[in-house]
Structure formats: C-alpha cells, structure tokens
Copies of this chain bind each other. A is one copy, B any other.
Amino acid sequence: MIKIKDIAAKCGVSIATVSKALNGSHELSSETTLMICETAKEMGYIPNANARTLKTNRSYNIGILFVDHTASGLQHEYFSSILNSLKVSCEKNGYDITFISDTVSKNAMSYYEHAKYRNVDGVVIACVDFKNPDVIRLVESEIPTVTIDYVYNGSTAIISDNVSGLESIVKYVYECGHRKIAFIHGEDTDVTTKRLAGFHKACAELGLTIPKDYVKTGSYHVAAASGHATRELLSLKDRPTCIIYPDDYSILGGMTEIEKHGLSIPNDISVVGYDGINLSRLLRPVLTTYVQDTEAIGRLAAEKLIAEIETPKMFFPEQVIVAGKLQLGDTVLSLKNAK
C-alpha cells in the first residue's frame, strides 16, 4: 500500500506538504498542489480512512440502527426503500454506512458502545423498539442522531405524517359514502398512536361514531394478523363496509380472508392500505392506499444528520414532517354511484 510518505519521497517534499496538497489546502502554491496530486494518482495512492479518523475524530461513516425482529425491518419495503434513499444521500455527501447492532463479537455491546467503537459520526435510528433503554441511551448521548417516525422529547426526527395520512383516508372513504369504517392498526408504537389519533379525529369531525369493535389490533407486515382481525370484523352483526389496514403488505391477509368468505373487493367490502409500496400498484385491484414519501424521508434523515455533524453551531433539533398522498386505487367502492 502506498502512503503519503512515498509520495513525499517521490516529489521531494515533506509529508506535511503532501497532506496539505491532497486536502486542497490553500497555503500551497497551485503548482505544487497539482504536481503532488498527479503523482499521487500515478502512484495509485488510496487514503487510509482509519488513520485519518484516528487523528481527526471524524470517520465520515454513519451508523444505522435497523433492527430486524420478526423480519419487519429490511424485509419491509417501507424501510428498505428508506434505507436505499438514505444510502444514496449519504454517499453523495461522502459518507459511508455501517450497520450498528448490539452484537459485535461474542461480547455484547450496547448500541452506544458499538457506535463509539466504530467512531461513527452519527446514527440514523429507524425500525427499532424506541422504548429500549439502549436506544434511549444512544439518543441521549453526545453522538448526533436522527430518528425516523419517532420523536424523543424534541430530538431531531423525520416523521411521516401519520395523523394526516389517516385523516385523508377516512375523509376519502367518507366521501365515497362509507360510514361503517373499521381500522385494523399495527402493534402499539408511536406511529400507531398517531394513526389512531388521525382516525378518531377525522371520525369526530365527520360526526361518525365508530363502535369499539371496529378498531382492532393487527401487526405491521404480518398478513396473518390482518387476516385474523378481518375475520373478527366480518363476523360482527353489523359489519363495516370499509376496512383500513396497517400496511400494504399485511392487507393481503385481510383480502384473502374477505375472499374466503365469498365476498368481493370492493363490491362487498372496501379496503385501504398504507405505505404505497410498489407492490400496491401491481396488485389487482390496485390498492387504495396512502403513499409515504420514502425517498424524502431517507434523504432528509441523511441531510439533517450530516448538517448536525458538519455545522453543529448552526444546529437545532427539529422535527420534519414528511407529507404523503392518497393513492386512488380500485379497492374502495363509491357507494354514491352505486345507488
């Protein structure tokens, strides 16, 4: 491996000069800089990130917390899509991405320790149990962090607009003439709380009274849970005409269940998903769903985090709410037209 010392020797200058040239310092004459840079390229010089990090305390490496319990992380298109956008934005800014786990080697490490161990400049936290003390420790540490879809007491967070999302859905299906609207929501998380709030808020504004058994607990990305909850809804005396699901993936469990009952979508039962993943547009019928802007979420997470890392003086914690939009598919029947 060739190093700056070798370049210095070849160029007949000191290693400090080489370092300055390579880093584009302005205290060097442009000729020397050019000469050194060209020689470096000729010699096939590759900088050593570790040496630089050791000296500067800056790794240009960002950690990501993506815990995949029950395969609802990387496997979930919502998150893999955010991850992809995050990756692209980080790379564009000269940062690499390393996964932060709680297991390095046999000796367990907390997330904070792992982040320190790898000297990451910051961490993007997505898709974890936000109540986990280890996660809280990390967020409260001196390491810059950005959370996705969860806010810690004023911390920097990028959040998809879950309240509006559900409001939009409810208002839309209401306009379509639906009054008996059921909501199968995901497990108890901050996102779920927001969606429930949006759901109830919209219903209240529209003067709808939703029976308690129209609101069921399912699970994100778990089709079977949606199927189970759907079965319960279908067995009610007074069935809903429209069911809102946790996401575009788990909705499949519900749709299957509905069809098993010999009912058709949307003629007998209307269904609405959430996320707007690519799949939602490939299914027949095309899903009516709320599209979350994963590209923006990933990009903003990267940008906010990098801003905090690079210009800490100008930094202030901020919650960025990313709007989504309704995708009008073919899974909601218009009761008005039907009449």
A residues touching B (Cβ–Cβ < 8 Å)? 1, 46-51, 53-54, 59-61, 68, 71, 73-75, 77, 80-81, 83-84, 87, 91-99, 101, 103-106, 109, 113, 116-119, 223, 249, 252-253, 255-256, 259, 278-279, 282-284
What are 13 A-B interface contacts by the 8 Å CB criterion? A1-B116, A49-B118, A50-B119, A60-B105, A61-B98, A74-B74, A74-B83, A75-B77, A87-B99, A96-B104, A98-B99, A249-B279, A259-B284
Contact A252 B46 (CB under 8 A): no
5 shortest interchain CB distances as A-B pairs? A94-B105, A252-B282, A98-B98, A50-B50, A46-B116
Shortest Cβ distance from residue A289 to the other chain B in the assembled complex, whole angstroms: 16
Contact A104 B118 (CB under 8 A): no
Contact A46 B117 (CB under 8 A): yes
A1, A73, A103: residue with the most chain B Cβ atoms closer than 10 Å: A103
Apart from A50-B53, A223-B282, A259-B284, 8 more pairs, CB < 8 Å: A50-B59, A75-B77, A80-B80, A87-B99, A93-B105, A96-B98, A98-B99, A252-B283
| Nearest residue, chain B, Cβ from A109 | B46
Q: Of B68, B87, B92, B119, which one neighbours A49 at CB under 8 angstroms? A: B119
| Nearest residue, chain B, Cβ from A113 | B46
In the bound complex, CA of A54 to CA of B56 (Å): 14
In the bound complex, CA of A59 to CA of B104 (Å): 12
Contacts of A118 in B (CB 8 A): 49, 61, 96
